[in-house]
Amino acid sequence: MGKGLLWSGVVTGNPNPNTIYPILFLPNTISSIGTWSAAVSNDNGTGSGAIDADYEVLGPQVFRFEYLYLLKSGILTDVPWDQAATPAHTSLNGWTDVQAIGVAIAVIDPGARALIPSTTLLDIASDLDDFKTAPGRGIGGQKKAGDIEYRWNTVLFGDPANLANTPGILNRGTTTAGSVVPREVVKSIRVYVRYYDFREQ
């Protein structure tokens, strides 16, 4: 993703698909932007989905990545401006509302990774909620720091307070798509979250 994050001197020209974007927000997707398409459409060919040597692996065993914003108001959100402000902010304004960017990753041990096919790993990754759609610990309402890792660990290992009704992949032995996952694989997965503070300059 670093290829697209050109924070200064960015070429403008939206909606040209070959424009170099500093960052991307829905409804656009990475695959819809010509200069980023190889990040998600690696077809080993020579077209827009061809291998691009400018991209690097986030981490050798990282299979799930999610990010979120901690606003100066204390709200965790998927939008980098304060929609709860009065009046509500409606666009990015030099990151003035953002205190920190949170990054969540799921990592698998290479030995355990060798025990499952890539499709199973993709099924595990798809079971780990996106920040936007994941319920908070209070189910709905404002999300809190710790919710995304709590939710991911619940999907993997079950809810310790209610294991009978929320068993997790470890206890079920399968993903929601039906892929079989050995216990050793689930036990080798770790979830990490870190916040990168935007310091005042």
Mean pLDDT of all residues belonging to the chain: 78
Q: How many Cβ atoms sit within 10 Å of the Cβ of residue 45?
A: 10
Distances (CA, A) of 84 to 20, 39, 67, 94, 101: 30, 33, 20, 18, 18
Same domain, 138 and 184: yes
Q: Residue 185 is part of which domain span? A: 62-197
Alpha carbon of residue 81 to chain centroid? 18
Q: Which residues contact residue 156 at a Cβ distance below 8 angstroms, ignoring those fewer than 6 apart?
A: 124, 128, 168, 169, 170, 186, 189, 191
pLDDT by residue (tens digit) across 87-107?
Answer: 888 887 778 899 999 999 999
Last residue of a domain, one of 36, 56, 76: 56
Instruction: Match 């697209």 to its residue by tokens.
Output: 4
Last residue of a domain, one of 56, 88, 103: 56
Same domain, 96 and 179: yes
Last residue of a domain, one of 9, 30, 56: 56
| Position 83 confidence tier, pLDDT thresholds 50, 70, 90 | confident
Same domain, 128 and 72: yes
Is residue 62 within a helix (H) or strand (E), and if so which, with residue range? strand 62-71
Number of domains in the chain: 2
Same domain, 8 and 70: no
pTM: 0.71
pLDDT by residue (tens digit) across 112-124?
Answer: 999 999 999 999 9
Same domain, 110 and 95: yes
Same domain, 36 and 111: no
pLDDT of the residue at 18: 56
Same domain, 37 and 84: no
Q: Do residues 82 and 97 make contact, with C-beta atoms less than 8 angstroms apart? A: yes
Nearest residue to 153 (alpha-carbon basis) of 138, 134, 177: 134
pLDDT by residue (tens digit) across 124-177?
Answer: 999 998 877 665 544 456 677 778 888 899 999 998 888 788 889 999 999 999
- What backbone phi and psi angles, to 5 degrees, belong to 32? -85, -10
Same domain, 181 and 117: yes
Torsion sign over Cα 47, 52, 55, 61 = positive
Same domain, 75 and 109: yes
Same domain, 35 and 121: no
Same domain, 2 and 98: no
Same domain, 105 and 188: yes
